[in-house]
Structure 1
Amino acid sequence: MTKLNILQYSNMQNLHIRPELKLSILENNQSYLELEKKFLSKYSFNFLNTFSFDKAGFLELLLQLNKKGKIAISVGETQSLIEAAKEFENLGLKLSWINLQKDGNINKADISTEFDFIFISSYVMDTFVKTNLKEIKKLTNAKIISNASANYDISSDAIYFDSYKLTGFFMGGVILFDEELFEEKTIGFTNSIAVDFIYEALEKQSFDGSSKELFEKSLKEVLKDDIYFFVDNKQTLPYSLHFALKGIKARELIRTLALDDIHITNGEGCSLGLSKPSRIIQAMAYDETTSRNSISFSFDKAYTQDEVEKIVQKLAKKYRQIKVLNEGN
């Protein structure tokens, strides 16, 4: 299997539920408490909560913060958070949006000193364009709450993790924080399985960006005028590559390459060839049709020159076949 969608779907194998992590007020929970202590120590935070990594779970977090101050959210965040924010507004509550520029970077002009909390990560979903949170801190005194599933920035005041992207299973998320930022849950309402699996995934997590330039060079040489770029890949996470192919929907290529055990992605929820275009590309002011051209690679190992050329040639062959079929319809 050639897994070039590692940042969207890690898909851990052989996960095992440990009976000793079972939570009960009538039993000794020492094994879980030790796990929680290791998790907090790894990232130097004091508190840990689990929450449902979906619209309802993020809405609960937003409602808690709303009691304490003004909230802003980057449109480059995970889809579940964006859906929660829209539901938050539907309830008649106010928050601010931080937009993306045409080049994929955060629009810093949208950041205000009036914000108390900002949901903004060290990378943008789908494109993996990096955001320097240290620079964001210079523009505001707000607490920074970020997704650390693909990259952790020490400038974050709270971090959360996506079990689906880290393990391939939906079990809920984990959020780490200080200063009683959120309402701490009792142990009986903690998803110990999610904590265990996410911690294990993070311990095993590895990336390798050594093949990024090889892939980009080979793609340009083989695809020539059929390839273009929404973002500057020098500004993306070092183990990610983002590009676009003219004249086809990415999901068509995703599906056909999967038959050859080559796995790529168009963005969140699109690695399986689903019909949704990249929301992030649309947030960068591209139309829906154009946003369907976008493709992301991400790497967890090094590839040889020969391996890169074979993968790119296979991709190019499938791409041209699909393009010809589309033109004939």
Structure 2
Amino acid sequence: MIKLNSLQYPNVQNLHITNELSLDILKNNDDFLKIENELKIKYDFSELITFSFSQSGFLGLFLELERKGKIAVCVGESYAIIQAAKQFESLGFSLVWIDLEKDGKVNKKQIENADVDFLFISSYVIDTFVKTDLEEVKKLTSATVISNASADFSTSSDAIYFDTYKLTGFSLSSCILFKNDLFEEQVIGFKDVVAVNAINEALKIQSFQTSQKELFKEKLIKAFGDDLYFFVDSKDTLDYSLHFALKNIKAREIIRTLALNSILITNGEGCSLGLSMPSRVIQAMGYEELISRNAISLTFTKTFDEAEIEKIVNVFAKKYRQIRVLNEQ
């Protein structure tokens, strides 16, 4: 199996649950505290709480932060955050949206002009994986920056959380790391030990290959010619990801066809969540829904030699042309 969709579909690991990790207020809970401290030390934060990586979970975070100040959310964040932000507004609270430009980058002028105390923005945009320089963002705003660190971690983030489903393949709780008293202290009995352990183990084995993007890009351009185009500049995306589009087909057609040939790709977060909709991120960049259905994303976690890449791309191109012929009949 050739897996080129790891940022959206993880390599699922077995969950290991032992009695030693169970929590008890009458014991020292050293095994769990060791895991918790590993994450704190690795990312240089002092506090950790767990919460649901879902609309309701992020809404809870918003409601807690709302008591302390104003909130802004970038439209390039995860689906769960976007849904939570919309529900937050529907409850009568105000919130600032940070848009995406046509090239997929965040609108930094809006960040600079936003009078907010908390900013949900990550070092990459969901779906396209266009990079956002959070160090530069911090120069534009005094807001506390809260980021998704599942695919990339920036030391400029003031707090980070993880998408457990994308890291482990299981819809467990997430955890958020922070300093000071950004969020209320969580009693140990409410912490999801299984989730924290699964996140920690997944991050230990997480690895990406940065040597593959340009090789794949060169072969894809050669094989597809004018049928291939780019919504975003590949130089602006994470070094282990490639985002492009194919004309006159829906991405799901090629995704399903290639899966039968054991080549796994994706068109974005909606694909991995089982949502029957095109990339909302591409539409947020100003493209029509029909065009956004052309989007495809690749992630590189393994090194392929040139012959292997050509073989993969040739299968890709063959299946694409078969789909085009069938669609035209």
So what's the TM-score if we normalise by structure 1? Answer: 0.98
TM-superposed deviation, 1:12: 2.6
| CA-to-aligned-CA distance 1:247-290 (integer Å, 9 cap, x gap) | 01001111111111111010003148752100100000001100
The alpha carbon displacement at 1:24 in A equals 2.1
- In the alignment, the residues of structure 2 paired with residue 115 and residue 207 of structure 1 have an alpha-carbon distance, to the nearest angstrom, of 35
How far does residue 113 in structure 1 lie from its aligned partner after superposition? 5.3
Q: Which runs of 5+ in 2 are unaligned?
A: none
CA distance in 2 between counterparts of 1:184 and 1:313 reads 54
What residue identity is the alignment partner of 1:154? T
Equivalent residue letter for 1:12:
V
Distance of 1:34 and 1:183 partners within structure 2: 21
Secondary structure of 2:49's partner? strand
1:118 is matched by which residue type in structure 2? L
Aligned match of 2:48: 48
Letter matched to residue 160 of structure 1: Y
Name the aligned partner's letter for residue 139 of structure 2.
Answer: K
Give the 3 Å change call, closer, same or farther, for CA 37–272 of structure 1 in structure 2. Answer: closer
Determine the C-alpha separation between the residues in 2 that align with 1:272 and 1:197.
19
Q: Show CA shifts across 1:154-186 (max 9, x none).
A: 000000001111011110111000111011210
Find the counterpart in structure 2 of residue 247 from structure 1.
248
> How many angstroms does 1:25 deviate by?
2.0
Structure-2 residue corresponding to 1:277: 278
Counterpart in the other structure of 1:220: 221
SS in 2 for 1:15: coil
Any runs of at least 4 consecutive aligned residues in structure 1 with deviations exceeding 6 A, and if so which? none
Aligned: 1:95 with 2:68? no
Q: SS where residue 243 of structure 1 aligns?
A: strand
Provide the rounded CA distance (Å) in 1 between the counterparts of 2:44 and 2:25: 27
Give, as a single letter, the amino acid of the residue that structure 2 aligns with 1:220.
I
How far apart in 1 are the matches of 2:276 and 2:223? 27
RMSD over aligned CA atoms reads 1.1
Distance 1:218 1:19 in 2: 51
1:251–1:273 contact (8 Å) kept in structure 2: no
Matched residues in 2 for 1:207 and 1:222: separation? 25
2:319 maps to 1:288: no
Contact 1:263 1:271 in 2 (8 A): no
Does the Cα contact within 8 Å between 1:251 and 1:275 map onto a contact in 2? no
Q: 2:11 matched to which residue of 1?
A: 11
The 3 A distance-change label for structure 1 pair 263 and 8 is: same
Is the Cα–Cα contact under 8 Å of residues 210 and 300 in structure 2 kept in the other structure? yes
Matches within 5 A, 1:80-119: 80-111=80-111, 112=113, 114-119=115-120
Structure 2: how far apart are the matches of 1:297 and 1:307? 15
TM-score of the superposition, structure 2-length normalised?
0.98
Work out the CA distance in 2 between the residues paired with 1:211 and 1:294: 19
CA distance in 2, matches of 1:238, 1:102: 21
5 Å-filtered alignment, 1:1-329, equals 1-111=1-111, 112=113, 114-271=115-272, 274-328=275-329
Query: Relative to structure 2, which stretch is displaced further, 134-143 or 23-32?
Result: 23-32
User: What amino acid maps onto 1:278 in structure 2?
Assistant: S
Distance 2:27 2:218 in 1: 58
Structure 1 contact 160–175 (Cα < 8 Å) conserved: yes
Using the aligned pairs only, state the percent identity: 62
The alpha-carbon deviation at position 115 of structure 1 amounts to: 1.2
What are the superposed Cα offsets for residues 162-217 of structure 1, whole Å, 9 maximum, x if unpaired?
A: 11110111101110001110112101000000000000001111000101111000
- Greater mean alpha carbon deviation, residues 236-245 or residues 13-22: 13-22
Q: Could you tell me how far apart the structure 1 residues matched to 2:252 and 2:140 are?
A: 39
Q: Check conservation: 1:255, 1:273, Cα contact below 8 A.
A: no
- Cα pair 2:72 2:120 within 8 Å, conserved: yes
Q: Tell me, what secondary structure is at the counterpart of 2:131?
A: coil
Contact 2:270 2:278 in 1 (8 A): no
**Residue type of the alignment partner of 1:203:** K
**How many equivalent residue pairs?**
328
What amino acid maps onto 1:201 in structure 2? A
Counterpart-to-counterpart distance in 1, 2:205 and 2:226: 39
CA distance in 2, matches of 1:14, 1:169: 10
Encode CA deviations 1:64-88: one digit per residue, 9 max, x unaligned.
Answer: 1100001000000000000000000
User: 1:35 deviation in Å?
Assistant: 1.0
